[in-house]
């Protein structure tokens, strides 16, 4: 499985949210995935639900024609944190 992302977006995530696509891809490759959900707003997109440093994060992605996972962004989610047992 190949995971790719935009390096400019990665730098933005590091600066603004203190998380990187490298850290996220490690969790995905190690199968540390809480869930995979369809994005109701974007038919072609799904998102990973991950636990990163004790909090629940949403990571939207899509699959390209070569079956590569393209990570789009990442954000902490209070909604999913409560849903997956966070306090």
Q: What CATH number is associated with residue 67? A: 3.10.450.530
Domains in the chain, number: 1
12-43, pLDDT tens digit by residue?
999 999 999 999 999 999 999 999 999 889 99
How far apart, in whole angstroms, are the C-alpha atoms of residue 63 and residue 76? Answer: 22
Look up the domain containing 13 and give its range: 3-83
C-alpha distances (whole Å) from 77 to each of 2, 7, 9, 66 are 25, 23, 19, 30
pTM of the complete model beyond 0.75: yes
């Amino acid at each position: 499985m190949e995971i790719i992302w935009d390096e400019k977006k990665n730098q933005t995530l590091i600066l603004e949210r203190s998380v990187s696509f490298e850290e996220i891809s490690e969790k995905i490759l190690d199968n540390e995935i809480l869930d995979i959900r369809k994005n109701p707003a974007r038919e072609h997109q799904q998102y990973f639900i991950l636990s990163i440093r004790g909090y629940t994060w949403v990571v939207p992605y899509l699959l390209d024609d070569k079956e590569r996972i393209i990570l789009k962004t990442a954000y902490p989610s209070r909604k999913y944190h409560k849903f997956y047992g966070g306090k």
